């Protein structure tokens, strides 16, 4: 299908957005989508040939180039779907609109242009005989087939939406289970950390009390001789050193436990 070059210079009489379909020419029972989404559908007046056209172009591809004739019929098969027969191209086209009002406005414009085409044909002195294929051979049983097709399409959309919802639900459930599992691990690690810290505190207090007790024993002894004084003083220094060492070891152990516990927790998360 090609587009006349003079149409590029014409201004459209009407423009709308719609999904474009075509009846399968082999089976004549099913619709084939011509557009991926909604595209512009326009009605032009070809002043050179004095005809009216329904035209739709998607990039370099011409989807519809139908000449509107006085014998052409336009059928509304549902609230948002309509069809017509292009006997020259031997195709049946269908348009799916987002709203019923859009379809109604398109039909009104089609009827108006069809009447204009009839008047132009009457006023023309030329004998334009055209071999028109019977439109009844190409028409689809609108009251039977089209509603069934519409229902099948809606059913397919509902099935897809249901499958998508089920997939999302499973995904969210898996994420929720993972979060619960990680939360349980973190809670357990925190409880173990608290218990170990309390144990280290208890041992630290025990070491401090023991050092204090030994200091009191040294202080309570009577004044010793010179050698014993040095020995007692040295013993007291050892106790002070041991006290500081125990405190340092306890702090290092507590810090090491916190670091290792946090590292293990992050590995499991």
Cβ distance 86 to 98 under 8 Å? no
Cβ distance 37 to 44 under 8 Å? no
- How crowded is residue 34: how many other Cβ atoms within 10 Å of its Cβ? 18
> Given this model, what pLDDT does residue 26 score?
86
Residue 44 burial (10 A CB sphere; 0-12, 13-18, 19+): buried
Domain 5-139 is in which class? mainly beta
* Band (134; pLDDT cuts 50, 70, 90): very low
The residue ranges of every structural domain in the chain are: 5-139, 177-268
Q: Model pTM?
A: 0.45
Q: How far apart are CA 91 and CA 62, in angstroms?
A: 14
Please tell me the total number of residues recorded for the chain in this structure.
Answer: 269
Lowest-pLDDT range of 6-20, 29-43, 67-81, 223-237: 223-237
Q: What angle do CA 166, 172, 178 make, to 5 degrees?
A: 140
> Given this model, what pLDDT does residue 39 score?
93
Q: What radius of gyration, in Å, describes the C-alpha atoms of the chain?
A: 45
Instruction: State yes or no: pLDDT of 269 exceeds 60.
Output: no
């Amino acid at each position: 299908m090609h587009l006349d070059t003079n149409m590029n210079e014409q201004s459209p009489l009407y423009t709308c957005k719609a999904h474009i379909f075509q009846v399968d020419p082999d089976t004549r029972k099913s619709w084939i989508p011509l557009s991926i989404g909604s595209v512009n559908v326009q009605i032009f007046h070809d002043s050179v040939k004095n005809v009216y056209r329904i035209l739709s172009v998607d990039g370099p591809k011409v989807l519809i180039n139908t000449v509107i004739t006085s014998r052409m019929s336009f059928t509304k098969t549902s609230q948002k779907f309509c069809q017509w027969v292009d006997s020259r191209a031997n195709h049946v086209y269908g348009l799916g609109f987002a709203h019923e009002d859009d379809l109604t406005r398109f039909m009104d414009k089609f009827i108006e242009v069809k009447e204009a085409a009839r008047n132009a044909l009457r006023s023309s002195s030329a004998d334009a005989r055209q071999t028109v294929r019977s439109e009844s051979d190409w028409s689809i049983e609108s009251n039977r087939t089209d509603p069934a097709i519409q229902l099948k399409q809606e059913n397919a959309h509902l099935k897809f939406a249901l499958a998508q919802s089920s997939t999302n639900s499973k995904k969210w459930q898996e994420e929720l289970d993972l979060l619960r599992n990680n939360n349980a691990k973190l809670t357990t690690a925190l409880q173990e950390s608290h218990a170990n810290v309390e144990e280290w505190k208890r041992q630290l207090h025990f070491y401090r009390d023991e050092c204090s007790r030994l200091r009191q024993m040294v202080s309570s002894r009577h004044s010793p001789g010179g050698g014993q004084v040095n020995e007692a003083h040295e013993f007291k220094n050892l106790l002070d050193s041991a006290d500081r060492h125990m405190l340092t070891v306890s702090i290092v152990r507590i810090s090491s436990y916190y670091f290792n516990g946090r590292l293990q927790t992050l590995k499991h998360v």
